[in-house]
Structures are given as structure tokens and as C-alpha cells.
Structure 1
Amino acid sequence: MLIAAGLLSASYASLANAAGVQVFSSRCSACHQPDGAGVPGQFPRLKGRISQIAASKDGRGYLITVVLYGMFGAINVDGRQISGMMPPMGSLSDQDIADTLNFAVALEKPRKKVAVFTAAEVKTVRGAGRLPAAGVAKQRAELATKGVIP
């Protein structure tokens, strides 16, 4: 956990509280790696991508949705197809999801300022209704086509 905490950029260090570090370390880092680099062809990298996605309202909604409901299906990341499944993590509190997303953004120095994820923002997405994992993949494909997801 200390290694992950050391990777935070200065601008987000205060946002990634212990809950964000803990959830990322226990639930995300096995696939996405402690530094967010992912595993090419197996698990998508977050570092270098997540702040780009979080820069738009649609991208932010997608990031919250994928954490809440998971995703199933093939995706393309860095020119490679990845087929797999991300498990849903909707049992986490709204605050834990916000903290974890803030920590993930902090794994890199964002190219431009990214708004802080809040529990209220997560609650709004959660309140919009459950989306099946295949539906999340469809949403992702649409956002990728629009250039929201690199």
C-alpha cells in the first residue's frame, strides 16, 4: 500500500485518502497493477488513460458505471484486443468508489485539470439504474467511437 501511495501526483495526494488506496490495492491492483500499468493484452492500463476519460461528463459517468456494474466483452486498448470481464463493485459505498477513482486518476499527472469524483456524483449514477455488464461494454464502445475513451 505504501508503494501505491508514493505514486500519487502532488495535485491529487490529498484526494486519495486511505480508503481509495485501500480499495485500489485490494480490488483493482491485481489486474490493473499497483501503478495502473495493466497487463498488455490482458488487463487495460489505467495510467495515461483514466484522466483523459474523466475529463468529460460522459467519460466520468462511464468510469463510475464500470466500477459499479462491471463489464463483459472485448475491448481495444493500445491497439490490442482484450477479452475479459471486470467484476462489479457496486457493494462499495459511493464514497469508496469516488475515493478509488480519485486515486486512479492520481496514478498519473493529468494533462489537464480533472474534477474530483464525489460520493454525490457516484450516487447520481447509481440512482440512474443498474446496467448489465454487456450494456456497460456497449456504452464503452459508443464512447470509444466518439473519442471519449482512448
Structure 2
Amino acid sequence: MSAVALTLPAVAAPDGAALFARCAACHTRSGAGVAGAYPPLGADFRALAAKPAGRRYLTLAVLRGLSGPLMVEGKTYRGVMPAQVLDDASAAAVLNHVGTKIAQSGPAFKPFTEKEVVGYRASGATLSSAEVAKLHSGAGGK
């Protein structure tokens, strides 16, 4: 009897650019944001992504949402960001899309991993969107 190898179909990685289409409704396709409502996804994103607390904040912003005033690049934003219903791989994919294609200024970008998102999701499972927003300044947001 010979052994038969079983091949499972390859699972395509989530498409961060396609997922970003939801984000673009508020942050715009270029990530420029909307004055007073939705912040730009640029230097602030890159600065946050360069620090562990910032990476946690960015992940939780996507997974748990944001509410309450937020100061980004010296301007106040008062829009509400709903939590996005994404699995861990998809959350990493959209964050990586922003970090590589949208946010072009700031520190070098290190991609988010699915494992990293799993940990941040667990650590912020009980946080409200207002509590996540409060993490911004403590995480190094500008």
C-alpha cells in the first residue's frame, strides 16, 4: 500500500486594499481624512506603529472602534469610528495596507502579524470605543 498525499486548497491571504475600502468612506482613499471628523492616516499612524503601545492602540481602534475627541497632528477630531468585524488576519492586512500604501511619512513601518493581532484583541476585549480613544495620546499619538 502506498501513502496518498492529501493537498488542501490554498487559502488566499486577506486583501488589505479591498478591506481599506470601508475605511476610505471616512478617511478617504488617500487617507487624508475629513477635517474635524476623521483623522488622516499618515505620520501619526506611522509614529504609533513604531511603538508597542501604539501598535496595540491601532489594532484596537480597528477592532473595538473609537469615540470621543481625538487629537491628531494638533487638530481635534470628533467623529465616531465603529468597530470593524474582521478576523485577525484581515485586521493585520488592513493595518499593513495603511502602513505601506497610505501612510507614507514617519518612521519605517514594521508589518503587523496575525499573531500580534490575536494578542492585542485579547488584551483589549473589555475596552469600549471611548476607552480605546483615550489610549491614543498615551501610546505616543500626536
Scaled to the shorter chain, the TM-score interval is 0.7 to 0.9
- Structure 1 residue 139 corresponds to structure 2 residue 114: no
What is aligned with 2:20? Answer: 24
Amino acid at match of 1:112: P
Tell me which protein shows more strand as a share of its residues: 1
What is aligned with 1:149? Answer: 141
- Compute the RMSD of aligned alpha carbons: 1.6
CA drift of 1:44 comes to 0.1
What is aligned with 1:113? Answer: 108
TM-score, with length taken from structure 2: 0.82
Residues 85-112 of structure 1: CA distance to partner in whole angstroms, max 9, x if unpaired?
11001x2010110010000011133543
Identical residues among aligned pairs (%)? 34
Residues 74 and 97 of structure 1: CA distance in aligned 2, closer, same or farther (over 3 Å): same
Aligned residues: 128
Q: In the aligned structure 2, how far is the partner of 1:120 from the partner of 1:79? A: 33
Residues 9-52 of structure 1: CA distance to partner in whole angstroms, max 9, x if unpaired?
xxxxxxxx761001101x10011010111112221000232111
TM-score, with length taken from structure 1: 0.78
Structure 2 gaps, min length 5: 1-12
What is aligned with 1:99? Answer: 93
Structure 1 gaps, min length 5: 1-16
Q: In the aligned structure 2, how far is the partner of 1:74 from the partner of 1:119? A: 29
Contact 2:34 2:40 in 1 (8 A): yes
CA drift of 1:59 comes to 0.4
